[in-house]
Structure 1
Amino acid sequence: MAGNSQRRGATRKAGTKKGAKVGTGGHGRKSLEGKGPTPKAEERTYHKAYKKPVSAEKSATSGRPASGSSRSASGSRGGRGSSTHEIVSGRNSVVEALRAGIPVSTVYLASKLEADDRTREIISAAGNEGYPLLEVSRAELDRLTDGSVHQGVAIQVPPYAYADDEDLLDIAESLGQAPLIVALDGVTDPRNLGAVLRSAGAFGAHGVLVPERRAAGVTASAWKVSAGAAARVPVARVTNLTRTLQAYKQAGAFVVGLDGGGDVAIADLPYATDPLVLVVGSEGKGLSRLVREQCDAIASIPIASAVESLNAGVAAGIALYEVSRQRA
């Protein structure tokens, strides 16, 4: 009960009472002066800005790559592409890349390779251009190409150089033809992009348009599936697909989307002989809402009820054939 509790309260111990403090007499003046101006990052031995040139200097004298630097194709695990190179494999893809004059840093051939017209052309082109030609084992070539079907041939090339979206219109104008462009909306599989490139090259399209985000780019897989068409058909990468379609429409092009349940059947594809942009959506989601709003028409491809949809490569091939048929 109150007044009888033996619990001690918050009482101050003797000698701990705070009061006026006597001056330091200058004892704390040194701590207020600081350590002077902060040295530059390059002068601080613990900072990465200091360590980077030191590491580069050591690698230059030792002949070894600096820590964190990009590896070459022969040193990268699995032969995956990096920011400095890409591996293109397969005889057709390599031949087309060499014919297109794409810079090649190294040509890889499997040991004991059975020669044919394509391999002889590859060896001849490598010799004429002075490209390094290396004979490697099948196991090493499997590693370089990340286990893809390389047919005993691969090349190391710089990263793909994307075109500008206006370049695709300029190509058609230089040929005196009505522009025909394929735009991909949400297609994330590079093999689908490769299939679209192959169809675009077969049916005379002037280029392919892809968004920068949430979309496949031109990788080794796309090169392989395109069977060399990636060397002939330019690909433009844009920040905003919707705005680019608007700009194409202002330039006089019509936009037709491919999607199930469209306004017209593919056999009655409108605007085929006019400047045309064919938009192909992803296999699962189809066209996005904003892209669909930019379309002047939506065309559909009749398929059996047992099949839900066609992938982007097949749909683009069918539509491009129809455009080619009408233009002929």
Structure 2
Amino acid sequence: MREHEEQTQEWIAGRHPVMEALRSGREINKIWVTEQAQKSAQPLMLEAKKAGLIVQVVDKRKLDQLVEGANHQGIVAQAAAYRYFEVEELIARAKESGELPFFLLLDEIEDPHNLGSILRTAECTGVHGVVIPKRRSASLTATVAKTSAGAVEYVPVARVTNMAQTIDKLKEAGVWIAGADVGAERDVFASGMKFDMPLAVVIGNEAKGIGRLIREKCDFLIKLPMHGQLNSLNASVAAGVLMYEVLRQRLGLGK
């Protein structure tokens, strides 16, 4: 299935992602369910009926064609394209929450499964917004939505042309930029490492890490301690550990 930036429709695949799309008030045009999935999809079908949506029972091959390669679990929805937010909107939403702003900047995360997993953890840890670049990055697709377990419906994502300029914009708004880098001198769990400030954490590409220019723009760099034979973690796992450490500190746990 080809993804076009200009497309006005998106496919949502899987029972949980479709249900979360319904609950979030996402604009959905139609839902397809296979005959085999009808029983397990009853709660979803009732939700769709309340919303006045069409649910059509089709052959599994139809769904395989609609979302090629995705694990659709016998349920696919056609919805309005995901809306990308402006960075200014993310900043405003964070201020409205009354909480310390917390953002994630993803510097060329290319694997949609990693992006989906990061969004799922971001939703669980209270991240106010995620920023991704328009080029050389995974975007919001059916695979990302499925992997995020519906979190894509709740975590605002901004898609920017220039990540460096975005960092400058966040700094102007009083946000500190922390880069996750294996070469950093400071350990994220080290004594005195505090995240009780408006913060954006930068997570780099799966293979290359954070780009040089972005690294230089960070206010400080942090790393996760490594005690095994490998010197790096999967990007989504590393992001998850960092997000939960920020949340742990902000909840005042482990003092």
Smaller-chain TM-score bracket:
over 0.9
Distance 2:62 2:13 in 1: 13
Quote the RMSD (CA, aligned, Å): 1.5
| Unaligned stretches of 5+ residues in structure 1 | 1-78
Partner of 2:18 in structure 1?
94
Partner of 2:29 in structure 1?
105
Deviation (angstroms), 1:227 = 0.4
TM-score (norm 2): 0.92
Is this contact kept in 1: 2:182–2:231, CA < 8 A? no
Aligned partner of 1:301 among 224, 240, 243? 224
Deviation (angstroms), 1:233 = 0.3
Partner of 1:222 in structure 2?
144
| Unaligned stretches of 5+ residues in structure 2 | none
Partner of 2:183 in structure 1?
261
Write the deviation string for residues 227-263 of structure 1: whole angstroms up to 9, x where unpaired: 0000000000111100110111121110001111212
Distance 2:188 2:46 in 1: 45
Higher relative contact order (CA 8 A, sep 6+): 2
Is this contact kept in 1: 2:100–2:197, CA < 8 A? yes
Is 1:145–2:67 an aligned residue pair?
yes
> Secondary structure at the residue paired with 1:284?
coil
Aligned partner of 1:235 among 157, 162, 172? 157
Runs ≥4 in structure 1, deviation > 6 angstroms? none
Distance 2:70 2:224 in 1: 32
Deviation (angstroms), 1:120 = 2.6
**Higher percent of residues as strand:** 2
Aligned partner of 1:121 among 35, 40, 43? 43
Is 1:326–2:249 an aligned residue pair?
yes
> Secondary structure at the residue paired with 2:61?
helix
What does residue range 1-328 of structure 1 map to in structure 2 within 5 Å? Answer: 80-82=2-4, 83-113=7-37, 115-116=39-40, 119-268=41-190, 270-328=193-251
TM-score (norm 1): 0.72
Is this contact kept in 2: 1:283–1:310, CA < 8 A? no
Is this contact kept in 1: 2:110–2:206, CA < 8 A? no
Q: Which structure's CA Rg is the greater one? A: 1
Distance 2:38 2:231 in 1: 43
> Secondary structure at the residue paired with 1:149?
coil
Q: Which amino acid aligns with 1:201?
A: E
Is this contact kept in 2: 1:162–1:237, CA < 8 A? yes
> Secondary structure at the residue paired with 2:37?
coil
Aligned sequence identity (%): 39
Q: Which amino acid aligns with 1:218?
A: L
Give the number of equivalent residue pairs: 248
Is this contact kept in 2: 1:181–1:206, CA < 8 A? yes
Q: Which amino acid aligns with 1:96?
A: E
Q: Which amino acid aligns with 1:277?
A: A
